[in-house]
Amino acid sequence: MYVGSLECDVLLGDVRSLKQKRSMVRPLLAELRRFEVAAAEAGHLDLHRRALIGVSCVAADTVHVRALLERCERLVAARPELELLSARTRLFGPDDD
């Protein structure tokens, strides 16, 4: 079993309140979940224009995990209302402690 995680640090467009931020982040999370991954806002919770989006998945092989996380990263990067500042992928397998 392999577990993969993706952290996307994003800069949101013209956002002036946490309510506006939620209205941009929620649809993104829903779209990511269509890939059957776990997705959540995992950081920068008190900042209006920044969000840290966390994605994780589990699969039997590394190829599937990497492909799935790459699709998620491309989806985030393709959103015109935000800018992907950085993305970090990690993979954990049976040999990791």
Domain region containing 82:
2-90
Query: Structure tokens of 51?
Result: 């969000």
Residue 24 forms part of a structural domain: yes
Residue 54 forms part of a structural domain: yes
Q: Structural domain tally of the chain? A: 1
Indicate the DSSP class of residue 89. Answer: E
pTM (two decimals): 0.88
Residue 9 forms part of a structural domain: yes
Residue 95 forms part of a structural domain: no
Residue 6 maps to which CATH number? 3.30.70.1120
Question: Which residues does the chain have with pLDDT short of 50?
Answer: none
For residue range 37-58, what is the model confidence (pLDDT) as tens digits? 999 999 888 888 999 999 999 9
For the packed helices 62-78 and 18-33, what is the interaxial angle rounded to 10 degrees?
140
Residue 96 forms part of a structural domain: no
Residue 53 forms part of a structural domain: yes
- Give the residues across from 5 on adjacent strands: 56, 90
CA distance 66 to 54: 15
